[in-house]
Amino acid sequence: MGRIIAVANQKGGVGKTTTSINLSASLAEMGQKVLTIDMDPQGNTTSGLGIDKNSVENTVYELLLDDISVEECIYPSVMEGLDVIASNINLSGAEVELISIENKEYLLKQKIDSVKAKYDFVVIDCPPSLNLLTINAMTTSDTVLVPIQCEYYALEGLTQLIHTIDLIKERLNENLQIEGVVFTMFDGRTNLSLQVVENVKENLDRNIYKTIIPRNVRLAEAPSYGMPINMYDTRSTGAEAYRLLAEEVINYENE
């Protein structure tokens, strides 16, 4: 049975999409069968995995609002063993359209339940806000992985996110757990990055992954070529870091 992980943080620019793309690709590289669901209307995870978001016929939008099967929305990515349910700007209007629908918090779950057994992992890239799309992702998921940027305001908003996760666990998905926190955009040359890591470790009583994702030019370049980092520059520090994170994620399951 596949484990479903929502990658979420309501702050933008924390490496959420980068983590969704490269964790998925690293898991697939290790022989796991992976489905990545792009719940962000920007569609950057879609294009970062080599799919033209503007020419895709069936996206998350159609999956949630039209009467089509989940199989019709699954596309192969550039990476073997990694499938994608794509997103594009159409999804930005979905929230208003969803308001009048019954059980609107469970629309994604109802669709994904039928295919999750085919995958080892389902990774969901959430939008950078705590909206109905994020709630759908969290009611579908088993765990939430939270990327945190190594910067001064890292803890700001994290308390709110944890509160939201706890609320969803209490009211909508009693099995939801916090998978853990992963530090991104780490710059070992600055004291600030080191201080942020120490500060979060002291103040957060949650699983914190040992792997820290460095600030890396190749990681930033890869999406514009429609490739995950392990295809774009397999020996880069970014690629190595996401492989280590994927190993930790796989082993977390076995703990």
State the pLDDT at residue 247. 95
Model confidence pLDDT, tens digit, residues 71-85:
999 999 999 999 999
Average pLDDT over residues 232-243: 94
Beta bridge partners of 85: 37, 74
Q: Residue 160 in contact with residue 133, Cβ under 8 Å? A: no
Query: At the topology level of CATH, where does 3-254 sit?
Result: Rossmann fold (3.40.50)
Distance CA 229, CA 187 (A): 18
Distance CA 6, CA 78 (A): 21
State the pLDDT at residue 54. 92
Position 38 confidence tier, pLDDT thresholds 50, 70, 90: very high
Average pLDDT over residues 132-136: 94
The conformational region for residue 43 under phi > 0 = left, psi -120 to 50 = alpha, else beta, is left
pLDDT at 5 over 90: yes
Distance CA 147, CA 182 (A): 5
Task: Write the CB contacts of 153 (distance below 8 Å, at least 6 apart in sequence).
Answer: none
Containing 36, the helix (H) or strand (E) segment is strand 34-38
SS3 10: coil
Structure pTM? 0.93
Model confidence pLDDT, tens digit, residues 172-229:
999 999 888 898 887 766 667 677 777 777 767 678 888 989 888 899 999 999 999 9
What amino acid occupies position 134? T
The pair of three-digit structure tokens given for residue 81, joined into one six-digit string: 């063993």
Contacts of 154-160 spanning 24+ positions with Cβ under 8 A:
154/196, 154/199, 154/200, 155/199, 155/200, 155/203, 155/204, 156/11, 157/9, 157/10, 157/11, 158/9, 158/200, 158/204, 160/10, 160/130
**Mean pLDDT (the chain, rounded):** 89
Position 12 confidence tier, pLDDT thresholds 50, 70, 90: confident
Q: What is the CA radius of gyration of the chain?
A: 17
Position 94 confidence tier, pLDDT thresholds 50, 70, 90: confident
The torsion angle over the Cα atoms of residues 228, 231, 232 and 237, rounded to 10 degrees, is 80
